[in-house]
A and B are shown apart, each in its own frame.
Chain A
Amino acid sequence: GPKVLQIPSHQIIDMGQMVTLNCDPVSNHLYFYWYKQILGQQMEFLVNFYNGKVMEKSKLFKDQFSVERPDGSYFTLKIQPTALEDSAVYFCASSDRRRTEVFFGKGTRLTVV
């Protein structure tokens, strides 16, 4: 079936540094999402993105976070600067214009040290 690819699967970054998480969404999908899951806790919505703009964001989507999808390529989540509490698994997701089903990637585990 359709797949959302996330690269890399695990990233370790020094606190205060910038990190960019990359997501290759399903081809022809129009809606894109980022979710955050701290180990052992429930999945939390961060942001959704459509037509080049952020549609909605949660309280967890801090000012240090930004998303973009330049030229229809990767959908990225950038964190600058990173903090220890940003350590989590970040899941990218996408859906088509009908938004009937949301497809998730396998996540990128971010460890901030």
Chain B
Amino acid sequence: NAGVTQTPKFQVLKTGQSMTLQCAQDMNHEYMSWYRQDPGMGLRLIHYSVGAGITDQGEVPNGYNVSRSTTEDFPLRLLSAAPSQTSVYFCASSSGRTNTEAFFGQGTRLTVV
């Protein structure tokens, strides 16, 4: 009963490095999304996908790329890390049916130095 699985849990990057945060879900959910959580700002939507092959920008997309080649996976790529991207990142999925909730992964704590 895995749900939404994120890796890694912790990561430290140097400014300018790139990396990919992994997210996988086993609930056959159509909708997947990435949020970042910063103190006093709640969760802000970075990118989302409504199905394989379909992605769109959220509230704070700059500096991040996504792709959705399968229903299960939705990786988030940081192309050139900046200290402003230090945050906790959450992946979420939902079925897309009306009135249903989102399910969250355990989060990735990223520090950019």
Q: Do A and B bind each other?
A: no
Interface residues in chain A, defined as those with a beta carbon under 8 Å from any beta carbon in chain B:
none
